[in-house]
């Protein structure tokens, strides 16, 4: 009898993993990764230059690394030794590569007519995945990741060597190449990229890694093949997914660059040379795409710049990439739907193709869930962080807290110097936001939903209309 009781918990674990849904498996894998990273950061020797992090701070740091966010309660450059930085980088790579691989698997499996309740299925399979086996896709993703990171590390080594010498530039080059491609935002330099605001080469190299990492492998491959076949007769059209991701990315980067240049020409950019102003405005347009690096102090920017940054963080990068946010394709669907409704038409149309109703419904659900989660977090953080402050102090803290919430949920990693002042309750709130934002609100809520409800989820009550608008 005792033996049977000892075995039952193990049998329960095996039964759980056999019956777990795809979203549940996805969410659970991130929970396990964060738990392992936090335990290592707390107990492994030789990771700190001084005293160890407390549990809450260790959990915050590893969650930020695994969810490739970039928010940090301590200075990564001075608080951690080489081995501590390497431990953080390991979980940045695992979080970034793991997400890319799993996203590609899901897209490839969808190409084989497998349905998964996940936020990432808002991106339909590209034409390339129809003829690719899953193993080949994952191997190609890994090769692509390591190749881009290697080229980025070489370029950054050449740029950093001019500042710190060729030997000391090796580790920062590797660290920033991985951190930038994974859109993590962690830096081994105190002050992040602000120390290179006058070095266009560094900012351009880092921004290119961010853009490539935030666009995704499958879309990048399809776009490259489409471009190479531009002179061939009968060239295949770009899939709607890749077209929407590419056009939205270019539009947001271009608009952000021009607006940041306009807003901050006489602001945080005023002391820079003309070329440096252009490059820093470009960098400010790139980093809200969930990258987390900053070349200017965001606590010094104007309200218009802060709000524009918030909007760009909400959109984020593209599906199947290392980026967060609601994704460029979801934003494209919402814009297309609104545009068509203003013209009195029913269906959302992108790239001369109508978008399936199911995809539109998931996109609207995603946007509403994201809005609800961020709104609840803003109310909660204002209570925990400014509950005892007077009215003027509370109002002064509202924008930084609003900025912090969106940055965490979108896994952007930018901050108006608010992270290090959070209470433990506030830090745990940001941890939850980073986690939910990284796995996706649809995946998260699908993972925690009760299976008993699945049997009645498609039952439709009697229909009755109501007036809207």
Q: What is the mean pLDDT of residues 15-20?
A: 60
The answer to the question of residue 431 being in a domain is: yes
The closest alpha carbon to 95, from 447, 448, 442, 438, belongs to 438
Q: What is the mean pLDDT of residues 349-378?
A: 91
Rounded distance between C-alpha atoms, residue 382 and residue 403, angstroms? 12
Structure tokens at 339: 């545009």
* Residue 234 CA: distances (Å) to CA of 223, 231, 237: 16, 9, 9
Question: Where is average pLDDT lowest: 99-108, 284-293, 308-317?
Answer: 99-108
The answer to the question of residue 1 being in a domain is: no
**Domain range holding 43?**
19-227+238-448
The closest alpha carbon to 412, from 269, 312, 295, belongs to 312
Residue 88 has pLDDT above 90, yes or no: yes
Structure tokens at 205: 């190299």
Rounded distance between C-alpha atoms, residue 310 and residue 416, angstroms? 11
The pLDDT assigned to 230 comes to: 73
Residue 26 has pLDDT above 80, yes or no: no
Q: What is the mean pLDDT of residues 142-166?
A: 92
Q: What is the mean pLDDT of residues 14-37?
A: 74
What is the total count of domains within the chain?
1
The pLDDT assigned to 20 comes to: 64
The answer to the question of residue 98 being in a domain is: yes
The answer to the question of residue 336 being in a domain is: yes
Contact 385, 392 (CB under 8 A): no
| End-to-end CA, the chain | 65
Q: Is 364 exposed, middle or buried (0-12, 13-18, 19+ CB in 10 A)?
A: middle
The answer to the question of residue 256 being in a domain is: yes
Q: What is the mean pLDDT of residues 170-176?
A: 96
Tokens 């396990």 belong to 32
The pLDDT assigned to 306 comes to: 94
Q: What is the mean pLDDT of residues 24-35?
A: 82
Transcribe 386-453 into DSSP letters. HTTS-HHHHHHHHHHHHHHHHHHHTT----SS-GGG--HHHHHHHHHHHHHHHH-HHHHHHHHS-GGG
Q: Place 149 in a pLDDT band, splitting at 50, 70 and 90.
A: very high
Question: Where is average pLDDT lowest: 10-14, 53-57, 463-467?
Answer: 10-14
Question: Where is average pLDDT lowest: 38-47, 119-128, 155-164?
Answer: 119-128
Residue 430 has pLDDT above 60, yes or no: yes
Residue 40 has pLDDT above 70, yes or no: yes
3-state SS assignment for residue 184: coil
The answer to the question of residue 462 being in a domain is: no
The answer to the question of residue 332 being in a domain is: yes
The closest alpha carbon to 209, from 130, 277, 156, 269, belongs to 156
Reported as type and span, the H/E element at residue 350 is strand 349-350
The answer to the question of residue 3 being in a domain is: no
Average pLDDT, the chain: 83
Percentage of residues in the chain with pLDDT exceeding 70?
83
Structure tokens at 40: 């290592």
* 16-40 exposure pattern, b = at least 16 Cβ within 10 A, e = fewer: eeeeebbbbebbeebeebbeebbee
């Amino acid at each position: 009898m005792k033996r049977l009781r000892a075995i039952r918990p193990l049998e329960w674990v095996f039964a759980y993993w056999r019956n777990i849904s795809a979203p549940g498996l996805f969410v659970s894998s991130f929970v396990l990764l964060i738990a392992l990273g936090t335990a290592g950061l707390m107990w492994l020797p030789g990771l700190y230059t001084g005293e160890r992090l407390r549990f809450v701070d260790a959990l915050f740091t590893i969650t930020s690394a695994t969810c490739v966010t970039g928010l940090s309660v301590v200075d990564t450059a001075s608080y951690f030794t080489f081995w501590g930085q390497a431990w953080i980088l390991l979980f940045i790579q695992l979080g970034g590569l793991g997400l890319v691989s799993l996203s590609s698997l899901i897209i490839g499996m969808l190409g084989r007519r497998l349905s998964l309740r996940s936020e990432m299925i808002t991106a339909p399979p590209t034409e390339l995945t129809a003829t690719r086996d899953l193993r080949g896709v994952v191997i190609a993703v890994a090769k692509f990741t390591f190749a881009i990171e290697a080229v980025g590390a070489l370029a950054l080594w050449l740029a950093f060597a001019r500042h710190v010498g060729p030997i000391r530039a090796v580790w920062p080059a590797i660290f920033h190449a991985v951190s930038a491609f994974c859109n993590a935002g962690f830096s081994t330099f105190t002050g992040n990229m602000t120390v290179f605001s006058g070095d266009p080469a560094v900012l351009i190299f880092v921004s290119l890694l961010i853009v490539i990492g935030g666009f995704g492998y499958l879309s990048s491959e399809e776009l490259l093949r489409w471009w190479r076949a531009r002179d061939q007769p009968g060239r295949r059209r770009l899939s709607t997914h890749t077209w929407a991701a590419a056009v939205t990315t270019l539009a947001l980067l271009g608009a952000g660059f021009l607006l940041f240049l306009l807003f901050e020409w006489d602001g945080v950019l005023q002391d820079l040379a003309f070329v440096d102003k252009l490059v820093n405005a470009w960098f400010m347009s790139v980093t809200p795409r969930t990258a987390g690096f900053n070349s200017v102090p965001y606590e010094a920017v104007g309200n218009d710049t802060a709000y524009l940054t918030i909007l760009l963080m909400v959109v984020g990068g593209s599906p199947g990439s290392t980026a967060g946010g609601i994704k460029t394709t979801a934003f494209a669907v919402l814009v297309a739907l609104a545009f068509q409704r203003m013209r009195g038409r029913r269906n959302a149309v992108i790239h001369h193709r109508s978008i399936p109703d199911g995809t539109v419904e998931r996109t609207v659900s995603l946007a509403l869930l994201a809005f609800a989660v961020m709104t609840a977090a803003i109310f909660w953080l204002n209570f925990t962080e400014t509950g005892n402050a007077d009215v003027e102090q509370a109002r002064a803290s509202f924008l930084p807290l609003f900025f912090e919430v969106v940055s965490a949920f979108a896994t952007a990693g930018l901050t108006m110097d608010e992270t290090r002042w959070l209470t433990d309750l506030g830090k745990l709130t940001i941890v939850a936001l980073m986690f939910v934002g990284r796995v996706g609100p649809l995946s998260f809520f699908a993972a925690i939903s009760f299976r008993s409800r699945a049997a009645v989820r498609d039952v439709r009550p009697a229909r009755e209309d109501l007036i809207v608008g």
